[in-house]
Amino acid sequence: MRAERQERGGRSPVGGSPSRLVEPTLDPGWLLVEGGFELAREHEVESLFACGNGTCGVRAALPERTSFSEPATWVAGVYGRPPGVDVPVLASLPDWTRVAVRVGDLDLAIERGTPIEHRRILDMRQGVFFLEWRHRDPAGRVTRVRGVRLASLADRHLLYQSLSLTPENYSGRVRADARVAGAPLAPVGWAPSIGVHEAGVVGSRAVVALAVADRLEREAGAPEGPGGWIPAGGVVEGDVGIESTRRLDRLVSVSSSREGPSPGARASRRLERSVREGIPSVVAAHAAAWAARWEDADVEVLGDDGATRALRFAAYHLVSAANPQDERVSIPARALTGPAYLGHVFWDTEVFMLPFFVFTHPPSARALLMYRWHTLDAARARARAMGYRGALYAWESADTGEEVTPPSVVDPEGRRVRIRNGELEQHVSAAVAFGAWQYAQVADDEEFLAGPGAEILLETARFWASRAVRGEDGLYHVLEAIGPDEYHEAVDDNAYTNGMARWNLRKGLEVLDWLRGRSPDRLGVLEERLGLGGEEPAAWGEIAGAMYDGLDPASGVIEQFRGYFGLEPIDLAAHEPRSAPMDVLLGAERTRRSQVIKQADVVQLVHLLWDELPPRVREASFRYYEPRCGHGSSLSPPVHAVVAARIGDAELAARYFRQTAEIDLADNMGNAAGGVHAAALGGLWQAAVMGFGGLRATASGLAISPRLPPGWRRLRFVARWRGARTVFCIGPGEVRVDVSGARGLRVGLDGGPSVAARPGRGYRAAAVDGGFGAWREVRG
């Protein structure tokens, strides 16, 4: 991927030209550009340049299609079961983005003839996908094609595509087939120009609908027919002259039975409203919604344009994946950009993505956590089925919250291999509790904490109390579990699982104490409904206090699980450069008997429970496990970046930061075709803000411990805390914060001086002798 400066003579981005209503942002720092065309990379590019708004996600397949195109528009929260698939799969709409163009007697296709120029542009600032293509067909005719596509952030049920065509050296007959593939449209509504398709989802009771309106316009803004609106989803044919432009605009409104009965009628009513408002208003509202989100979501690095672009790419896809208006959906592992993992939801959301939303857009964070509350009954049922109490969340979740992890897969040698993650990777319950607590503390959402949040924390604590068993040593143990390191299955006392279970039990007690003091009536109702009383909560403190922790006092290293220290050491450096994951290179059996780990496990624990571990244990554990980690998961490099930065190894942190950024932007794991790695994108934000910026929440505000890597001259980001909005600007010589919002907060710096920052004020602390001096109020 490369950024290219757009020479547009100061043209206003929204307003556009005769060939399209919006133009790319002038600043190349907001653009991702793919120049040229490589058929083998199509699926990867379609993932990276996808558009989304939390309700729908649209892959960046070319409108004219290629022999390798994989178009899809996924609908959040709608799942089906296609034939031959044992688990739910995220549903996709009929292909509404295809436009097959025929010039004379030849199809206009990039694989036929010669592309003179071909560029795809993702404008992250405006949330718009652009296509620029000049093509010479086998007959020598040159055609200029320009395209626009977006998923509206202002109206999350609305999609838009525009395609313009200009003959450069010929005149003649042109035909554009814009029929929606596999979806005949029935005319409905106030005019015959709106067509609706409504259909059931295979293997489900769900129904999805899309309403379509098409508009045709000649050059100089002259519409064809009344208002330019033509019968939807049809074939457009006519004569064109040299340098004359025809533009076909399409608006699509999406609905499903998740919103209630008659989704087709609902989609058509929404579309009628958008048609009356006009396409320019639709585009402008979308751009304004993105501008508002970037006020808090943008992270800017002075001195490293590539880092800024990577962080904007991460924020773009995270914002595109969440819907603060829908609390019954969460973010799949590949967001709404690709088919990998079938649209299933993992612990990725709460541990890797949620912090971005907690600090930049609390309503999105709340909605994501409410999905877990709405699926709490399924988690309770799963715990009961396995002989436990409380709530055990599914390792892979879909619409209902039931466990949807495939029971087995076929390996490259054709053998069927059992997947045990759905049985044993239970730390997901602690991850959900961790996210609920973090959100409640940062957002100061007492209504959430007293209701859904408390219920999540108490029921997950109850699960861990029933899961842990007391051993002959007098300690409590979690036996036969899978931690984040999935190379080692059914281990006893996985340090991450035990540590998070201990944390979960203690937070359960803390929320009970909070409710007793703040809302005893609500506590009484909750205890009665959950059947929680007597000696049960009292046992949680005992279990947490006697939980096996695996700490080796001599070295300060936490053993990843019992017996890990006795496994075969492997020198990972001897296997560099690596063309495959370590479990493939060594074989599954030898990997299980070795100290090679798939991803951050103890290091993940250090990251999440930083304040609960002594500095010696943090660094000793990181230094021990870092050379033993094969990074076989995209979740691993960003965690190593955060922890390396926090212990002061900025150069190593920068290396892991770059590795994380390149997971999608350089496809360094070779699987971006299946969709962007949403957890890694959330982890990249954490690496910059919580690692290099050292941001953490405290009881009275926010604190930072800056550790900028070489070459970074300034790091700027925004964090929200309980109604206060704080802009941090961190440089090698000083730190500045500017506070706005409804209230002030206390800002701490590197464990030293803090300041009671008031709204409407700015504060500065200068670097002094390796640390920072006192805060001083500044104006302007």
Q: Return the higher-pLDDT residue of 769 and 640.
A: 640
Query: What's the rounded mean pLDDT across residues 354-382?
Result: 98
Amino acid sitting at position 500: M
Helices (H), 609-635: 615-625
**Of the candidates 234, 238, 111, which has an alpha carbon nearest to the alpha carbon of residue 171?**
238
Place of tokens 């302007």: 780
Among 31, 25, 27, CA closest to 2: 31
Give the residue-averaged pLDDT of 489-499.
Answer: 98
Check: pTM over 0.75? Answer yes or no: yes
CB 740 within 8 A of CB 763: no
In the block, tokens 């001086």 appear at 753
Q: Where a domain ends, among 294, 312, 327?
A: 294
| pLDDT of 14 strictly over 90 | no
Q: What percent of the chain has pLDDT over 70?
A: 96
- Per-residue pLDDT, averaged over 768-776, amounts to 87
Q: Report the pLDDT averaged over residues 501-516.
A: 98
Query: What is the pLDDT at residue 13?
Result: 45
Cβ neighbors of 359 (< 8 A, separation 6 or more) are 442, 689, 695, 718, 719, 720, 721
Residue 454's region, left for phi above 0, alpha for psi from -120 to 50, else beta, is alpha
Q: Strand 56-58 relative to strand 73-80: parallel, antiparallel, unpaired?
A: antiparallel
pLDDT (tens digit per residue) in 687-743: 999 999 999 999 999 999 999 999 999 999 999 999 999 999 999 889 999 999 999
Per-residue pLDDT, averaged over 450-469, amounts to 98
DSSP letters, 96-137, are -S--EEEETTEE--TTSSEEEEEEEEEETTTTEEEEEEEEE-
Residue range of the domain that includes 748: 714-778
Q: Is the pLDDT of residue 115 over 80?
A: yes
Give the active site residues.
486
- Of 404, 406, 407, 408, the closest CA to residue 382 belongs to 404
State the pairing for strand pair 235-240/172-177: antiparallel
Q: What whole-number distance in Å separates Cα of residue 772 and Cα of residue 749?
A: 8
Burial degree of 185 (CB within 10 A; 0-12, 13-18, 19+): buried
Q: Which residues are paired to 697 by β-bridges?
A: 702
End-to-end CA distance of the chain: give it in Å, rounded: 38
Query: What per-residue confidence (pLDDT) applies to 534?
Result: 80
Both tokens assigned to 754: 């803090």
Residue 137 placed within a domain: yes
Beta-bridge partner residues of 736: 729, 764
**Residue 700 resides in a domain:** no
Are 294 and 125 contacting, i.e. CB atoms less than 8 angstroms apart?
yes
Q: Is 662 exposed, middle or buried (0-12, 13-18, 19+ CB in 10 A)?
A: middle
The reported pLDDT for the residue numbered 81 is 94
Q: Which of 1-10, 334-343, 471-480 has the lowest mean pLDDT?
A: 1-10
What size, in residues, is the chain? 780
Q: Provide the pairing of β-strand 158-167 with 142-151.
A: antiparallel
Q: Which amino acid is at 206?
A: A
Asked if 730 and 703 count as a contact pair (C-beta separation under 8 A), the reply is: no
Query: What is the C-alpha to C-alpha distance for residues 373 and 447, in angstroms, rounded to an integer?
Result: 14
Residues 403-432 pLDDT 10s: 999 988 887 677 888 899 999 999 999 999
The DSSP code for 201 is P
pLDDT over threshold 90, residue 227: no
Residue 229 has pLDDT above 90, yes or no: no
Tell me, yes or no, whether 463 lies in a domain. Answer: no
Asked, for residue 743, whether it belongs to a domain, the answer is yes
39 — phi, psi (to 5°)? -55, -40
In the prediction, which pLDDT does 226 show? 54
Containing 209, the helix (H) or strand (E) segment is: strand 207-218
* Phi, psi values for residue 434, rounded to 5°: -60, -45
Domain count, the chain: 2
Q: Which H or E element spans position 592?
A: helix 588-592
> Do residues 618 and 648 touch, judged by C-beta distance below 8 A?
no
Cβ proximity of 71 and 98 under 8 Å: yes
- What was the pLDDT predicted at 2? 40
pLDDT band at 183, cuts 50/70/90? confident
Last residue of a domain, one of 294, 328, 357: 294
- Strand, coil or helix: 437: helix
Q: What is the C-alpha to C-alpha distance for residues 258 and 253, in angstroms, rounded to an integer?
A: 15
pLDDT at position 557 is 98
Residue-level pLDDT at 6: 35
Token pair belonging to 517: 């003091």
CATH assignment of the domain containing 108:
2.70.98.40
pLDDT of residue 753: 85
Q: Is residue 588 part of a domain?
A: no
Percent of the chain with pLDDT over 90: 87
Neighbours of 325 (CB within 10 A): 11
In this prediction, residue 17 carries a pLDDT of 55
Q: Does residue 391 surpass a pLDDT of 50? A: yes
250, 271, 294: which is the final residue of a domain?
294
SS3 550: coil
Q: Which two tokens stand for residue 746?
A: 């206390």
pLDDT tens across 568-595, in order? 999 999 998 887 899 999 999 999 999 9
In a domain, 601, yes or no: no
**From CA 92, how far away is CA 210, in angstroms rounded?**
11
How many C-beta atoms lie closer than 10 Å to residue 666's C-beta? 13
- The answer to whether residue 91 is domain-embedded is yes
- The residues, ordered by sequence, that sit 6+ positions from 688 with a Cβ below 8 Å of its Cβ are 299, 301, 307, 311, 657, 715, 717
- Report pLDDT for 163: 96
| CB-based burial, 150-160: b 16+ in 10 Å, e otherwise | bbbbbbbbbbb
- The Cα–Cα gap between 458 and 474 comes to 25
Collapse the DSSP code of 772 into the 3-class scheme (helix H, G, I; strand E, B; otherwise coil) and give the result: strand
- Res 282: pLDDT: 97
3-state secondary structure 500-548: HHHHHHHHHHHHHHHHHHHCHHHHHHHHHHHCCCCCHHHHHHHHHHCEC
What does the block give as tokens for 624? Answer: 């021990």
Q: If you average pLDDT over residues 454-460, what whole number do you get? A: 98
pLDDT tens, residue by residue, 598-633: 999 999 999 999 999 999 999 999 999 999 999 999
The whole-chain average pLDDT of the chain stands at 93
Tell me the backbone φ, ψ of residue 391, rounded to 5 degrees. -130, 125
User: In angstroms, rounded to a whole number, what is the distance separating the alpha carbons of residues 692 and 652?
Assistant: 12
Say what the pLDDT of residue 3 is.
Answer: 38
d(C-alpha 93, C-alpha 73), whole Å: 5
Residue 241: per-residue pLDDT: 94
**Alpha-carbon distances of 294 from 49, 313, 331, rounded to whole Å:** 18, 12, 20
Mean pLDDT value across residues 484-493: 98
Do the domain assignments include residue 411? no
Question: Which band of pLDDT confidence, cut at 50, 70 and 90, is reported for residue 5?
Answer: very low
pLDDT digits (tens, 9 = 90+) for 539-566: 999 999 999 999 999 999 999 999 999 9
Q: Which tens digits make up the pLDDT trace of 32-86?
A: 999 999 989 999 999 999 999 999 999 999 998 888 899 999 999 999 999 989 8
Calculate the alpha carbon distances from 757 to 56, 390, 700, 766, 779 in Å: 40, 42, 11, 16, 13
Of 565, 762, 600, the residue nearest 680 (C-alpha) = 600
CA angle 193, 198, 202 (to 5 degrees): 150
